[in-house]
Amino acid sequence: MLGQRNSDEADRRLSPEAAAPRIASLVPSVTEALIALGLGDHLVARTGYCVHPAEVVRRIPKVGGTKTVNVAKLRRLRPTHVVVNIDENRLETVEALRAFVPKLVVTHPCDPADNLALLDQLADAFGAVAGVLEAAARWRQRLTEELAATTPDGRPESRVLVLIWRDPWMTVARDTYISRLLARVNWQTLPDQRGGERGAARYPMLAPDDRAWHAAERVLLPNEPYAFDGSHVQEVRERSPQARVMLVDGEALSWYGVRAVEGLRYLRGLAAEP
């Protein structure tokens, strides 16, 4: 039986579809990861939010946004594989894709350590392409080193409010990727609640009188998905006068895949600030 399984796996990797995949990525951070693994020439579609690396993605056709995928256009591009994400793409989009896409690659990293499994998942899906397995191994090593260097040991706990939207104000539950990334330097996000595997509860709205405004020691204003900038700092200070308000790199704190290597290093730098 083992020999048969190995033979089946070899046949799969040697198939034309595996050796020359036509990949559509509907996940910006995974688009970046696929290109880092050497799969740029195999990408036939992306979203408008897939912007890194710019010199590669500019030649890849866009098929709408992560939540507004043009399914008809995507179908015309004849992908053999489409990469989706449970948080970023709508379930109805994924169900529509099942009708014509041979292989759906469903991703859902919820913790920085999950990036190791994500790299393995991409290597398994596209490892028949020359160089992919070797590139995945290199990125896996780099990520392992950054994870080992980013731990809460010896760091004081800090209560942190992460704002991801304005009007309405929205934040993150503790079982999201952003929250678990911050926990690696003992920054515990508010409110202290879980959102479940999928759905709006993962990104709760904040009422004007929510205690999180007054309990936070730090308030983080990322530049994505909402484009917070210096013009919003005073408004937030009026709601959280006791907190330090920090403008931060939203991509570093929320993009997974290969970006997590930079993200973990960036987070350590934030935590080191007085």
pLDDT of 151 over the 60 cut: yes
pLDDT of 146 over the 80 cut: yes
The residue that leads in pLDDT, 19 or 124, is 124
For the chain, the straight-line distance linking the first and the last C-alpha, in angstroms and rounded, comes to: 60
- Reported as a single tens digit per residue, the pLDDT across 105-140 is 999 999 999 999 999 999 999 999 999 999 999 999
Going by pLDDT thresholds of 50, 70 and 90, the confidence category of residue 13 is: low
pLDDT of 11 over the 80 cut: no
Global model pTM greater than 0.75: yes
Domains and CATH numbers, the chain: 2-148 (3.40.50.1980), 158-272 (3.40.50.1980)
**Mean pLDDT of the region 158-164:** 98
Structure tokens, 223: 């530049």
pLDDT of 6 over the 70 cut: no
CB count within 10 Å of CB 152 equals 15
Computed over every residue of the chain, the mean pLDDT equals: 94
pLDDT of 54 over the 80 cut: yes
Q: Going by C-beta distance under 8 Å and a sequence separation of 6 or more, which residues neighbour residue 162?
A: 171, 172, 178, 179, 182, 189, 219, 220, 222, 253
- Reported as a single tens digit per residue, the pLDDT across 55-113 is 999 999 999 999 999 999 999 999 999 999 999 999 999 999 999 999 999 999 999 99
